[in-house]
Structure 1
Amino acid sequence: MDIDVLGTLAVRHRGVSITPTAPKPRQVLALLALRAGQVVPVGVLTEELWGSEPPRSARATLQTYILQLRDLISAALENGTGDDTGQRRQAKDVLLTVPGGYLLKGGDDISDVREFERLAGSGYRAMDAEDYPQAARLLREALDLWSGPALTDVHTGPHLQTEVKRLEESRLCALDQRVEADLRLGRHRELLAELTVLVNQYPTHESLCGQFMLALYRSGRRGEALDAYQRLRSTLVRTMGLEPSAALGKLQRSILMSGPGALPARSAAAVPAAPVA
């Protein structure tokens, strides 16, 4: 089974789509797919679909959605072959009813989330080993798996919203480290356009701002680097009542007082990320 959630939802079994078009069955499939191989309790699915006040018909309606998904799986199985024992699998062998809930069992799943986590993890280890070319390559490959916000075409309830937030935080961590690797490789000019977009997209993210300041400074744009700090400070004070971190303040003072090349290599990386607005 192929599971893609880093963008639009797409789930394929033996190359055939089993992704429904109706909104609520899509929610059910999205949650089952994100937790493939794990039991998803009926209560969790019910809360995802209807919140804390489900209708009296919730359980029967959920069973209808499960049957609709199994119909799609059955259609996909018709194009496949039997398993190793010569027996053809049925939809209920892929989407199982288990005590208390349901489980999506696709065999050797190919998941864009798992591939992202594998590549990002390798990239982090390369960063720790100070192998910046390898880190930049691996983290770029991980980020290339994203075609847009996670589950961008799925209505999300409380559980999917939590999953989407978790995935977005993972993406931002990988992005931060990939930018840091590129800065270590002297690619500050190449990063300017991307960082211009990112600091506008995440106006309270201190780490990205610090990297933007460093890239501007190393590109001979000292005044713009200081302006970036002031914009972040104004936003933090206005929206959160907070001053920038001590690390970012130190970077600002270094840019203000130091000559070219005097800044420490890890100035930007030392800045913690503020909450994303």
Structure 2
Amino acid sequence: MQIGVLGPLVVQVAGTSVVPTAAKPRQMLALLAANAGHEVGMAALVEELWDDRPPSGPAQVVQTYVKQLRRALARAAGVPHSAPEPKELLRRGHTGYTLDMPGAAVEADEFTRLAETGLRAAAQGDDPEAAARLLRRALRLWRGPAFADVRTGPVLRAQALRLDEERQAVLEARMTADLRLGRHAEILGELSALAERFPFQENLHALLMVALYRNGRSWQALEAFRRLRSTCARELGIEPSARLQRLHQAILSSDPRLDTDLADLDAGLVAL
């Protein structure tokens, strides 16, 4: 079984997709796939599918969707039409249902494994090349926004937000590792696009400012700070953080620490 939620929903058995076209069964399968191997309670299923407006007898409707999904799983697994439904693939538990197939390749689990290993390597700081490589592999698993082709309810939206936050942390760590490796020119375009897309993400703007400075474009680094400051004041009524303001001052004074390792730079800016 192949399970993917880091983009359009993918659930395949023996190379055959079992993703329904109907919106509600698709939504239910997405929640089960996002928690593959773990039981999803009936309360969570009902909340996801109908929020605070469930139909009369929601458990019966869920059971109908389960039957549809089991039939799709049976067809993909080559189970004869006359045979019983393969309930072990979509098991009923004490409080809900579990999508379960031993040996399933779960995209989000692989992302988490690579991300955790890469983030540990990045935190240790002694091998930024290995950290960048692992983090890049983790990011390549993403095919678009999580659950990109699924109509999401409150439970899936919360999971999508968690996955997106993890992706953002991995992306920033990978950018930092690349800067430590002197790849400021290579990542400048990507950083510029990300800062435009996420106008309030200070970490991305800090990385962009350092990359611009190291590319001999101090005036653009200062302009990036000015835009962030203007956006924060206009939209949020606040100033950028003290850390970012210290980085701005370091660029104004051409602080030599801007050309050193980012860990040394961060420590220096905190001490100022």
TM-score normalised by the chain length of structure 1: 0.90
Tell me the matched-pair count. Answer: 264
Tell me which residue corresponds to 2:88: 93
CA distance in 2, matches of 1:96, 1:269: 53
User: What does 1:72-111 correspond to in 2, within 5 Å?
Assistant: 72-78=72-78, 90-111=85-106
CA distance in 2, matches of 1:11, 1:43: 23
Question: Would you say the 8 A contact 1:17–1:76 is kept in 2?
Answer: yes
Helix, strand or coil: the match of 1:181? helix
Question: Would you say the 8 A contact 1:233–1:244 is kept in 2?
Answer: yes
**Aligned pair partner of 1:132 in 128, 131, 155:** 128
The 3 A distance-change label for structure 1 pair 268 and 3 is farther
Query: Which residue type is aligned with residue 61 of structure 1?
Result: V
1:52, distance to aligned residue in structure 2 (A): 1.0
1:264, distance to aligned residue in structure 2 (A): 4.9
Tell me which residue corresponds to 1:255: 251
Question: Would you say the 8 A contact 2:210–2:258 is kept in 1?
Answer: no
The answer to whether the aligner puts 1:219 opposite 2:215 as a matched pair is: yes
Question: CA offsets, 1:66-90, max 9 Å, x none?
Answer: 111011011012179xxxxxxx995
Question: CA offsets, 1:189-241, max 9 Å, x none?
Answer: 11111011100110000000000000001101111100100111111122222
Q: Percent of aligned pairs with the same residue?
A: 45
Helix, strand or coil: the match of 1:227? helix
Tell me which residue corresponds to 1:15: 15
CA distance in 2, matches of 1:168, 1:10: 18
* Cα RMSD (Å): 2.0
Tell me which residue corresponds to 1:209: 205
Query: Which residue type is aligned with residue 128 of structure 1?
Result: A
More helix by share: 2
1:18, distance to aligned residue in structure 2 (A): 1.3
Q: Which moved more, 1:54-63 or 1:142-151?
A: 54-63
CA distance in 2, matches of 1:197, 1:268: 26
Tell me which residue corresponds to 2:142: 146
The 3 A distance-change label for structure 1 pair 43 and 265 is same
Q: Which moved more, 1:69-78 or 1:162-171?
A: 69-78
Helix, strand or coil: the match of 2:92? strand
Tell me which residue corresponds to 2:270: none
Q: Which moved more, 1:121-130 or 1:195-204?
A: 121-130
Question: Would you say the 8 A contact 1:5–1:150 is kept in 2?
Answer: yes
Tell me which residue corresponds to 1:55: 55
CA distance in 2, matches of 1:21, 1:149: 19
| Structure 1 moving runs of 4+ over 3 Å | 259-264, 267-271
User: What does 1:118-267 correspond to in 2, within 5 Å?
Assistant: 118-130=113-125, 131-258=127-254, 262-266=258-262
The 3 A distance-change label for structure 1 pair 34 and 19 is same
1:58, distance to aligned residue in structure 2 (A): 2.1
1:180, distance to aligned residue in structure 2 (A): 0.1
Identify unmatched segments of 5+ residues in structure 2: 268-272
Identify unmatched segments of 5+ residues in structure 1: 81-87, 272-277
1:260, distance to aligned residue in structure 2 (A): 6.0
